[in-house]
Amino acid sequence: MSFELLKTKIIDTNQCIGCGICAKSCKHIEMSETVNEKKKKTPLLKGKCIMTTIGLACGNCYNSCPMVRRGKKKDPENFLNTREKVLKVIEEHPKSTIPKIADLLGLSTIKVRFEALRLVELNQVEFQILPNQRDPIFLKTT
Ligand code: SF4
Ligand code: SF4
Instruction: Report the alpha-carbon distance of residue 76 to residue 54 in Å, rounded.
Output: 32
Q: Quick one: pLDDT at residue 77?
A: 47
Hey, do 3-73 and 80-140 end up sharing a CATH topology, with the first three levels equal?
Answer: no
Amino acid letter, 133: Q
Q: Quick one: pLDDT at residue 60?
A: 86
pLDDT digits 0-9 by tens, 69-122: 887 655 544 546 788 889 989 999 999 999 999 998 888 899 899 999 989 988
Which one has a higher pLDDT value, 53 or 11? 11
Q: Among candidates 73, 65, 138, which has minimal Cα distance to 101?
A: 138
Per domain, the residue ranges of the chain are 3-73, 80-140
Pocket residue to mutate for ligand 2, from 2, 6, 13, 21, most atoms within 8 A of Cβ: 21
Q: Quick one: pLDDT at residue 50?
A: 78
Ligand with the closest atom to the CA of 68: 2
Domain 3-73 matching CATH 3.30.70: the answer reads: yes
Amino acid letter, 2: S
Which one has a higher pLDDT value, 32 or 51? 32
Pocket residue to mutate for ligand 1, from 50, 56, 64, most atoms within 8 A of Cβ: 50
Instruction: Report the alpha-carbon distance of residue 106 to residue 108 in Å, rounded.
Output: 7
Mean pLDDT of 20-34: 93
Q: Quick one: pLDDT at residue 29?
A: 94
Closest residue CA from atom 6 of ligand 1: 49
The class (CATH top level) of 80-140 is mainly alpha
Sign, Cα dihedral of 82, 87, 88, 92: positive
Mean pLDDT of 112-133: 91
Mean residue pLDDT of the chain comes to 86
Q: Quick one: pLDDT at residue 72?
A: 65
Closest residue CA from atom 8 of ligand 2: 16
What is the reported pTM?
Answer: 0.55
